[in-house]
Structure 1
Amino acid sequence: MSTPVVFIHGLWIHSAAWQPWQDLFAEAGYETHAPGWTGDSATPAATRSRPEAIAGLGVAELTEGYARYLAKLPVRPIVVGHSFGGLIAQKLLATGAAEAAVAISPAPIKGATKLPLAQIRSALPVLSNPRNKTRAVALSERQFRYGFGNAISKEESRRLFDAYAIPGPGRPIFELTAAKKDPSSPTEVDVTAARGPLLITGAADDHTVPEVVSRQAYGLYANSPSVTEYHAFAGRGHSLVFDSGWRDVAQYALGWIASLSQKELSDR
């Protein structure tokens, strides 16, 4: 039985954005899944119409939702996550719920303390109002352009916003900002755990998760006994997994997964 691949979307983006990846991985022989976050509806439009369904959810609840989904699969999957999905992917891998993981421009785990101005600006739609901690927050087209679509044309950014943008819970952003002083932060990952292989990638022009933040997260695994690799994509922004250049990113992830030996996937 082949190892299934489960795709985990990030904040403000619907799981429908993974469809091209699912098609590509299916062509390569993988069974694929792209379940949404707890509270997401089946389509972007339906999710936009029910923002209250995801209000108040945090990293722990979202991770638990995926852990339950993974536990129902016949074998442990490989997980591929983007942004907050990348943070969740790391948590699932560290606890043994997944065989391997790819974290693309992942939201920072506890210990990644760099805070570039671009990242602060990208988070302001949530952090500007403390009441957003218990609310669902939607980005405006202009905010989406800055946080996701800055490395692509204005026209493409607008198309992606219309196609995939959804409200997201504000709580995970507040949990990131509180992580340093929170001894039980849900963003913490056991970076010394014996686990399957992990690939972390960054994007050079990313505003939401600047490349220096992704690289610092990789550095936190310096003392890990397990395979941990890093790759940076030049000239790419936070939309890199679902914009017109998605295939380059997907092919890199697919090649990395295909290169893993059975021993690397099971020897721990």
Structure 2
Amino acid sequence: MSEHQLPAHTVEQIERANASGRTPVVFIHGLWLLTSSWERWALLFEQAGYAAVTPGWPDDPDTVEEANAHPEVFAGKTIGQVADHYATVIARLDRKPAVIGHSFGGLLTNIIAGRGLSVASVAISPAPFQGVLPLPISSLRSAAPVLSNPANWHRAVPLTYDQFRYGFANAVSEEEAKYLYETFAVPAPGAPLFQAAVANLNPWTEAKVDTENPDRGPLLFISGARDHTVPRAITEAAYHRQQRNNGVTELVEIADRGHSITIDGGWQEVAETALAFVRRFA
């Protein structure tokens, strides 16, 4: 799919948002999840008076079942390609949107904000960008299913349940972890993880954020206190990089939450924290 050929459901959401006259909110998912991970968030924001737009990454399957049956469709996606895809979506909106992203979606949110494309942004447990230096052991372990094999750059990589339990669902019960794995987990492209891993060694990296753009707009970081994949040290380092911007930059930590912070039983607390921030500016 070219960047201009958006899926029908995304085009419908854009047209609906434009017709509504409401401020759009664009949701960006991360690796190992689909846009279905935002369904409850979208409803909450719609009820609050916004127009929710939940585009997938390019060529994302519609369902978890389809994704697990055809993992090859995820292979080869890079951070730059996905960022340009979301920029294309935003360009078709009549009003500048708020943007909310989780994990690699949080990194993409930083990139989009750095391009001056969002009226307000929320980056939840964001993957690191160039200049973010901490490499906690738990983060390396969470990325190991991909980074342990260089050939995974060109592959789609699924997580086993144990890998998902450690990287996403360490702060919930075994029962809930199994439910989240069965309901939400899909394979993910390996390339973005390799790109993030070497971002500080590559001057031309696509994992680069313009933290000084005066049009960046207000930006909130949300961190889960028990997140293995993106521990507070990473989110805090990104927050400090973004503080050089003249726009509002804030950081909130949510207690007892892991990387499944947007999809587990406590999702609503996180969503309402994001909504309260967006409401201040959009």
- The TM-score, its normalising length taken from structure 1, stands at 0.95
Q: What letter corresponds to residue 74 of structure 1 in structure 2? A: D
1:193 deviates by 1.0
* 2: CA distance, partners of 1:164 / 1:19: 11
SS at match of 1:214: helix
Aligned 8 A contact 2:116 2:213 in 1: no
Deviations 1:147-200 (A, max 9, x none): 000000011011011011111000011001111110011111011111211111
Alignment counterpart, residue 177 of structure 1, candidates 197, 203, 213: 197
1:222 deviates by 2.6
SS at match of 1:232: strand
1:107 deviates by 0.3
- The TM-score, its normalising length taken from structure 2, stands at 0.91
Say how many residue pairs are matched. 261
What is aligned with 2:15? none
RMSD over equivalenced CA pairs, Å: 0.9
1:2 deviates by 2.1
What is aligned with 1:245? 266
> Given the alignment of the two structures, is residue 99 of structure 1 paired with residue 107 of structure 2, yes or no?
no
Deviations 1:60-89 (A, max 9, x none): 011111111111112121110000000001
* 2: CA distance, partners of 1:120 / 1:47: 25
Alignment counterpart, residue 69 of structure 2, candidates 49, 58, 74: 49
What is aligned with 2:158? 138
What is aligned with 2:228? 207
Unaligned ranges ≥5, structure 2: 1-20
1:50 deviates by 1.9
Query: Deviating runs (4+, > 2 A) in structure 1?
Result: none
What is aligned with 2:5? none
Q: What letter corresponds to residue 211 of structure 2 in structure 1? A: V
Alignment counterpart, residue 219 of structure 1, candidates 240, 243, 247: 240
> Given the alignment of the two structures, is residue 117 of structure 1 paired with residue 137 of structure 2, yes or no?
yes
* 2: CA distance, partners of 1:253 / 1:102: 6
What is aligned with 1:79? 99
What is aligned with 1:150? 170
Q: What letter corresponds to residue 30 of structure 1 in structure 2? A: Y
Q: What letter corresponds to residue 241 of structure 1 in structure 2? A: T
Deviations 1:80-126 (A, max 9, x none): 00000000011111112222110000001111110010000000000
* 2: CA distance, partners of 1:18 / 1:112: 27
SS at match of 1:220: helix
Alignment counterpart, residue 27 of structure 1, candidates 43, 47, 66: 47
What is aligned with 2:14? none
Alignment counterpart, residue 89 of structure 2, candidates 69, 78, 82: 69
Percent of aligned pairs with the same residue?
A: 44
1:45 deviates by 1.1
Aligned 8 A contact 2:120 2:218 in 1: yes
* 2: CA distance, partners of 1:70 / 1:45: 28
Q: What letter corresponds to residue 155 of structure 1 in structure 2? A: E
